[in-house]
Amino acid sequence: MTQDPLVIPGVNLWAIAPEMVMVAGAMGILVLGAGFKKSHPLILMAGALATLLGAAIAAILALGQGSGFAFDGTIAMDGFAGFLKLVIIASAAVSVLAGYDYIQRERAAAPEYLGLLMLATTGMMLMAAAADLITVFLALETFSLALYVMAAFRRQRLDSQEGAFKYFLSGSFASAFFLYGVALTYGGTGTTRLEGIATSLSEGLKPGTEVLVFSGLALLLVGLAFKVAAVPFHMWTPDVYQGAPAPVTGFMAAGSKVAGFAVLLRALYTGFHELVTDWQPILIALALITMIFGSVVAVAQTNVKRMLAYSSIAHSGFLLIGVIAANQRGLSGALFYLGSYSFVIVGSFAVIYAVGRAGESRVELNDYRGLWNRQPFMAVALAVMLVSLAGVPPTAGFWAKLEVFLAAVEAGQVPLVVAALLSSVVAVFFYLRVIVLMFLQEEEWTKEVPDTGATSGLAAAVGLAVVAVLGVYPTPLLDFARQASLVLFR
């Protein structure tokens, strides 16, 4: 029984070269580091950083290979994917730096920490490149499963377990909705490729299948809104942020937002672009309640990690404005926003780690009283990053918001932008409160020597430097984002 050989379609290893490097590194660290030699965490960290560097180089080289699809249209290779992959790699690297101190202080398992972090990074990178809903699902689960475990990393602590538990339950619940959406979309359009969906939507649907596509799209949006923590799918966010170790939280906040918005942008701008008038109103409603709810509830928080969790919910709302704009400026603005936000949030959580003490204590607002006297560098770094989160010029966060809002104005969404500006004003209040506490208040308790290592300081410094440089000179990253956004508009 001989048959013709099957043609294995379009293998282009450049498209997944960064991911391949990451998986090899992660497996190496897990198998060798945990199994055979009890390696010093410093060696493991060097290995992780080297792998991330290798992946970054591979991603940059892949950018030079032109754009297109690989593996029969399941994986995209373009500037959009390259830009977001580099952002994810960078925030993972900063998180590795902060995590090294954490591993030392808490005597946490270094190979698992680094290995899971790298596998999560791989999944997020794949999200940025996924051009098929199957690939999206695989990538989504790859990074989610790793993050569920990382959220439970302080496994003796009740709040860490509880955060992980809630994250897992709501996460897999949302995944199931996402999958049902994929199944319905497949039934309606006959394919799971985003390009194929776009073609079949523009050719017009067969009568009777519209309902499948529309309900499929709605369920897809539920799943993705959960990942980016948009209200009303945000319930897990504060608990997970509070429960997870601070360096993990930073990475989670940056990475899952980048990955979620990557798929949201690619799916809505290419696959479902035909239905723009249908998904826009849904997203407008989501964006409105997300921004307002996040900003208002953050004011009531006394725990800094929870406060940043609600702040990250609010930022999801602002990012959604870029998606809603549905023009090229919205896309490039959202990309720039994701880039700057990732650095800021990873850097902020490095500071939160450094201010805290063993067992993730001292994360209440009151613990930041008089920080300037104890840890002046950390106080300055956090202040600058909070100012950037608030979107005050001249910081990276200001340019990001400006781009996104201008894109929405171009698209005629003026009321939405007004609401966004108002909730930004509310948000300024709680960012400023922390800064006032750090610089203007006297500390109430006795001085003690901080027990933080050097690498979390380095992580904070990277975040600070990026915010400052992008604030004064955002042009290079903006240009990169504009170029990256071109591929989805052909």
Residue whose CB is less far from other proteins, 113 or 168: 168
Q: At what angle do helices 396-410 and 454-472 cross, to 10 degrees?
A: 50
For the bound state, the minimum distance from the C-beta of residue 201 to other proteins, rounded and expressed in Å, comes to 16
Binding site for other proteins (CB under 8 A): 2-6, 8, 11, 23, 27, 30-31, 34-36, 134, 137-138, 141, 145, 148-149, 152, 155-156, 158-159, 161-166, 168-169, 172-173, 175-176, 179-180, 182-184, 186-187, 190-192, 238-239, 242-243, 297, 300
For the bound state, the minimum distance from the C-beta of residue 132 to other proteins, rounded and expressed in Å, comes to 9
Residue whose CB is less far from other proteins, 2 or 202: 2
For the bound state, the minimum distance from the C-beta of residue 112 to other proteins, rounded and expressed in Å, comes to 9
For the bound state, the minimum distance from the C-beta of residue 3 to other proteins, rounded and expressed in Å, comes to 5
Residue whose CB is less far from other proteins, 36 or 445: 36
Residue whose CB is less far from other proteins, 10 or 394: 10
Residue whose CB is less far from other proteins, 242 or 348: 242
**Interior/surface letters 19-35, b for 16+ CB within 10 angstroms, e for the rest:** bebbbebbebbbeebbe
For the bound state, the minimum distance from the C-beta of residue 298 to other proteins, rounded and expressed in Å, comes to 11
Residue whose CB is less far from other proteins, 181 or 391: 181
Could you give the CA distance from residue 346 to residue 349 in angstroms, rounded to a whole number?
5
Distance between alpha carbon 68 and the CA centroid of its chain, in Å?
24
Residue whose CB is less far from other proteins, 162 or 195: 162
For the bound state, the minimum distance from the C-beta of residue 351 to other proteins, rounded and expressed in Å, comes to 22
Residue whose CB is less far from other proteins, 141 or 443: 141
For the bound state, the minimum distance from the C-beta of residue 4 to other proteins, rounded and expressed in Å, comes to 7
For the bound state, the minimum distance from the C-beta of residue 219 to other proteins, rounded and expressed in Å, comes to 10
For the bound state, the minimum distance from the C-beta of residue 224 to other proteins, rounded and expressed in Å, comes to 16
Residue whose CB is less far from other proteins, 27 or 43: 27
Residue owning tokens 């309902």: 211
For the bound state, the minimum distance from the C-beta of residue 267 to other proteins, rounded and expressed in Å, comes to 16
Residue whose CB is less far from other proteins, 211 or 454: 211
